[in-house]
């Protein structure tokens, strides 16, 4: 409990959070009723029981189905406001939120509906909690590069509200190289660049994210540890990794948290951070992720402080804002 109190009091940033992955079953039911959408579950308990995954794709199938209850601007507002309130309770001072517009536009929901609901809640969280935020548009990598290009076109009216672009969804078979041109255009537009890499995919995908997409951060990056030259490069570059312990456990990226690579990453000089990824699906918000991995790896207070500091230094805040948190 001493460790729990220490974690609870640590100011932190969350850098790897899919807003659609924060949809709690209770809100899913409420929105299903509000929008008269059928869902294949009879109760909140049934929903939670369905959240048993053997791999990333197992999860993604349920995740895309779950977001189908989101229709109106108010739905995206309620989703984002609930996450911000929950993060505030975990001493999160700054959030960098992913959203998956193609998961909505493919269902006929306008890009504008999605982004106005999310940003209105982020503005309210700034006013209520002093919580700062950045917004990162993710391309779904199982779709084509042309589809990503069309999504980037749809984002152009919202350049002042979108800070970065990322790459998520089914990793294996969809390497960063598939999206080299759309990310080059995103860079010329001034976006920060991130990509999920080395979650299930090989170290080669991390190399591609660095060399072809020219990422500012790597999301996950676990499998980088299989390639010592890559580890040396990530350490020398001070590259931030947004690591998600409970996600890794629930998606069987690790068999047991005692085998989680987080401590190895820190010992190798990698700038690792702790994040919740899709907290409603993986059973814990950011403090629960710190707690579970600290217990499993017996992390010291100094290591916990390093992780929290890394979350600010690895953020897309400007230097003056970072300095206020350090
Ligand atoms: N979309 C939401 N969560 C994801 C994850 N952990 N990996 C890839 N795509 C995702
Ligand atoms: Zn993720």
Provide the residue-wise pLDDT of the chain in tens; the chain has 326 residues: 799 999 999 999 999 999 999 999 999 999 999 999 999 999 999 999 999 999 999 999 999 999 999 999 999 999 999 999 999 999 999 999 999 999 999 999 999 999 999 999 999 999 999 999 999 999 999 999 999 999 999 999 999 999 999 999 999 999 999 999 999 999 999 999 999 999 999 999 999 999 999 999 999 999 999 999 999 999 999 999 999 999 999 999 999 999 999 999 999 999 999 999 999 999 999 999 999 999 999 999 999 999 999 999 999 999 999 999 99
- Which residue of the set 73, 199, 200, 303 is catalytic? 199
For residue 171, the domain's CATH number is 3.20.20.140
The closest ligand to the CA of 205 turns out to be: 1
Distance CA 33, CA 117 (A): 19
Distances (CA, A) of 112 to 20, 71, 72, 148, 227: 16, 12, 10, 17, 42
pLDDT of residue 324: 94
pLDDT given for residue 133 in this prediction: 98
Q: Which two tokens stand for residue 324?
A: 């206020």
Q: How far is the CA of 259 from the centre of ligand 2 (A)?
A: 20
CA nearest neighbour of 15 among 100, 97, 70, 128: 97
* Ligand (nearest to CA of 16): 2
Long-range CB contacts (within 8 A, 24+) of 171-176: 171/56, 171/141, 171/196, 171/197, 171/199, 171/200, 171/201, 171/205, 172/200, 172/201, 174/141, 174/142, 175/201, 175/204, 175/205, 175/208, 176/205, 176/208, 176/209, 176/212, 176/213
Q: Is 196 annotated as a binding residue?
A: yes
pLDDT of res. 212: 99
Domain, as residue range, for 208: 2-24+73-315
Q: Which residues contact 43 (CB under 8 A, 6 or more apart)?
A: none
278 among annotated binding-site residues = yes
pLDDT at 26: 97
ipTM: 0.98
> Does ligand 1 come within 6 angstroms of the Cβ of 219?
no
* pTM exceeding the 0.90 threshold for the entire prediction: yes
Residue 324 inside a domain? The answer is: no
Does 88 fall in a domain?
A: yes
At 266 the pLDDT is 98
Residue 200 Cβ inside 6 Å of ligand 1? The answer reads no
Query: Which H or E run contains 212?
Result: none
Q: Report the sign of the C-alpha dihedral through residues 192, 167, 23, 106, in that order.
A: positive
Confirm whether residue 174 is marked as ligand binding. no
Atom 6 in ligand 1: residue holding the nearest Cα = 277
Task: Compute how many other C-beta atoms are within 10 angstroms of the C-beta atom of residue 27.
Answer: 18
Q: What pLDDT does 95 receive?
A: 98
Q: What is the pLDDT of residue 1?
A: 77
Task: List all residues 6 or more positions away from 295 whose beta carbon is below 8 Å from its beta carbon.
Answer: 3, 257
Domain count, the chain: 1
Residue 243 has φ and ψ, to the nearest 5°, of -95, 145
Residue 230 lies in a domain: yes
**Is residue 199 annotated as a catalytic residue, yes or no?**
yes
């Amino acid at each position: 409990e001493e460790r729990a109190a220490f974690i609870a009091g640590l100011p932190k940033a969350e850098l790897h959070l899919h807003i659609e992955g924060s949809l709690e079953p209770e809100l899913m039911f409420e929105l299903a009723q509000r929008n008269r959408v059928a869902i294949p579950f009879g109760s909140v308990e049934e929903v939670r029981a369905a959240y048993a995954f053997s791999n990333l794709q197992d999860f993604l199938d349920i995740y895309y189905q779950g977001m189908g209850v989101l229709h109106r601007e108010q739905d995206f507002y309620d989703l984002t406001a609930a996450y911000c309130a929950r993060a505030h309770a975990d001493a999160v001072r700054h959030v960098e939120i992913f959203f998956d517009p193609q998961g909505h536009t493919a269902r006929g929901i306008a890009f504008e509906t999605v982004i106005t609901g999310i940003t209105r809640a982020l503005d309210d969280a700034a006013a209520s909690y002093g919580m700062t935020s950045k917004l990162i548009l993710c391309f779904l990598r199982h779709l084509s590069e042309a589809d990503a290009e069309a999504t980037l076109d749809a984002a152009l009216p919202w350049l002042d509200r979108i800070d970065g672009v990322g790459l998520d969804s089914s990793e294996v078979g969809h390497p960063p190289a598939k999206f080299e041109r759309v990310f080059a255009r995103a860079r010329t537009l001034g976006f920060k660049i991130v990509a999920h890499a080395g979650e299930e995919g090989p170290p080669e995908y991390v190399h591609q994210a660095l060399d072809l997409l020219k990422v500012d951060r790597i999301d996950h990056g676990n499998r980088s540890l299989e390639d010592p030259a890559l580890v040396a490069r990530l350490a020398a570059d001070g590259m931030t990794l947004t690591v998600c312990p409970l996600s890794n456990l629930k998606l069987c990226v690790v068999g047991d948290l005692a085998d989680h690579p987080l401590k190895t990453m820190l010992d190798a000089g990698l700038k690792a951070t702790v994040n919740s990824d899709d907290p409603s699906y993986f059973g814990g918000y950011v403090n629960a992720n710190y707690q579970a991995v600290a217990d499993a790896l017996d992390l010291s207070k100094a290591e916990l402080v390093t992780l929290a500091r890394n979350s600010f230094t690895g953020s897309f805040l400007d230097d003056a804002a970072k300095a206020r948190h350090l």
